[in-house]
Structure 1
Amino acid sequence: MRHSRILADVGAALRFYSRIPVPAGPAEDAFAPPDLKRIAYAVPLAGAVIGLAGAAILIGAHALGLPNLVAAILSVLTCVLLTGALHEDGLADTADGFGGGASRLRRLEIMRDSRIGSYGACALVFSLLLRVALLDGLLALSPTRAALALIAAANALPPFGLTAP
C-alpha cells in the first residue's frame, strides 16, 4: 500500500474519531463520513497519534516536576479533549441505557437521549478516575512505561460507542 494512501486513511480516521483539524486531500471531502471498512486498519494508528499526544503531556508534566497525579490528570484531559469526549459520551449513553432500561426498546430510547442520567454520570466518574489512577501508578513505576502504556491503550481500543453513520 502506498504511503500517501496510508496517510490519507489515518487523516480520515483522525477527522472522524477526533477533533484534530486534519486537512483533507484534494480528492477528499473533509465533511463526508469516511469508508469505515477501508480505513479500519488506520483507526489504531489514529488512536496511537492521540495516545502519543497524551503521552507527551504526561512526560512533559512529569519532567517539569508536577506531581504524578497532576501529570496523569493533564494527560487524560488531553486525550479527552482531542477526541471531543466522544468515547465518554458513548460510555455514558451505554451505561444509562443498560442501567435504566427494562426492555431492549427502552434501552435504545434512553441511549438516544442526549441527557445524561445517574448511571452515565457514575460511569464517567469511575472511568476517568480509573484512567488517572492507573496512569498515576504507572508513572510512579516508570515514566517511559506509563507513556508507552497510554499509547498502546489508545490504539488498541475501538472507539467506544461510535457507529458508522
Structure 2
Amino acid sequence: MRRQIELFFLALGYFTRIPVPGWVAWVPERLAHAAPFLPLVGWVVGGAGAASLLLLTQILPASMAVILSMAVTIRLTGAFHEDGFADSCDGLGGGWEKAQILAIMKDSRIGSYGAIGIVLMLLAKTAALIELARVSPTTAAAALFTAHSLSRLAAVGVLHALPYARSDDSSKAGAVVQRLSGAGLAMAGAFGLLPAALLLAPLQGLSALVLTALVTLWLARLFLRRLGGHTGDLLGAVQQAAELTCYVALLVGLGFAS
C-alpha cells in the first residue's frame, strides 16, 4: 500500500505543480509505474476546478466562474497538457516528415499553428462549460471532474497502445514510456471511468465515453501514421482533445435528453 501511495504522489508531482510529501523520493525510473494513477491525478485537478466553479458561481456570473475555475486547473498543472497540445499543433501542422515534426515539437518557441490551436481550444472549452453552467453549476462541476479524469485515461490508453516515437529520451514522456500491466490498465480504467458512472446520467455518460473513445482512436491512428507512435506532447494533445470532447458530448447528451 505504501508503494502505491508513493507512486500516486510521484504522478501528482510530475503532472502537476502540487507539492508532495518530502518522504516521497523522486526516482525517475519508477515514474513509468505511476502512469495508472494519471486519471486519479485528474480527480485532484478536476475536483479543484469543480469546487472552484461551485464556489465562484455563488458570487459571480457563470462565464466568469468558468474562466476562473479553468485558471485554477491550469495553475495546478502548470499548463503541462496545454503546452503539449500547442507543440503538437505546431509539429503536425508545420512538419511533413517525422524528423521535422519531432524537431518542431521539441522547439520551446510557439508558432502560428500552436498559438491558434491553443486559443481555439481554450475558447471551445470555455464556451462548452459556460453552456453547461447555464444548465446548472452542478452540471458544469460534474463535467469538469469527469472530463479531467476521462481525458487522462485517454492519454494513458494511447501511451499503452502506441510505441514511443522518439529514439532518445528528450520528450516529456521519456520517463513514462512503458506499456501498462493488466492490473495497471484496470486501475487506470477504474479511476478514469468511475466519475462518469457516478456523476453523470446514463445517456450523458454513454455519449461522453463513446465520443471520447472515437476521438482518441482517431488521434492514435493519426499519430501512428505520421510519427509511428506517441510523444509527451502528443499525449498532452490527447488529454486536451479528450477533455473538450467530453464537454461537447455532455452538451449533445443534454440536447437529446431535452
The 4+ residue runs of structure 1 with deviation greater than 6 A are none
Is contact 2:7–2:31 with CA below 8 Å preserved after alignment? Answer: no
For the residue of structure 2 that corresponds to 1:139, the secondary structure is: helix
Is 1:163 paired with 2:173? yes
What does residue range 1-165 of structure 1 map to in structure 2 within 5 Å? 2=1, 4-25=2-23, 28-30=24-26, 32-33=27-28, 35-64=30-59, 66-158=60-152, 162-165=172-175
Q: Percent identity?
A: 43
The number of aligned residues is 159
Instruction: Give 1:34 shift.
Output: 5.8
Q: In structure 1, what residue type is equivalent to 2:9?
A: G
**Which range is displaced more, 153-162 or 99-108?**
153-162
Instruction: Give 1:162 shift.
Output: 4.4
Q: Distance in 1 between matches of 2:29 and 2:72?
A: 24
Is contact 1:16–1:34 with CA below 8 Å preserved after alignment? Answer: no
Distance 1:113 1:24, change over 3 A: same
Q: Distance in 2 between matches of 1:105 and 1:6?
A: 37
Q: Distance in 1 between matches of 2:174 and 2:44?
A: 21
Q: In structure 2, what residue type is equivalent to 1:73?
A: I
Distance 1:127 1:34, change over 3 A: farther
Q: Distance in 1 between matches of 2:109 and 2:75?
A: 20
Structure with the larger helix share = 2
Instruction: Give 1:8 shift.
Output: 2.5
TM-score, structure 2 normalization: 0.58
CA RMSD between the two structures: 1.9
Instruction: Give 1:62 shift.
Output: 0.2
Gaps of 5+ in 2: 157-170, 176-258
TM-score, structure 1 normalization: 0.88
Gaps of 5+ in 1: none
Q: In structure 2, what residue type is equivalent to 1:54?
A: G
Deviations 1:30-79 (A, max 9, x none): 3x336244222211111110100011111111012x11110110011111
For the residue of structure 1 that corresponds to 2:174, the secondary structure is: coil
Q: Distance in 2 between matches of 1:50 and 1:40?
A: 16
Q: Distance in 2 between matches of 1:34 and 1:10?
A: 14
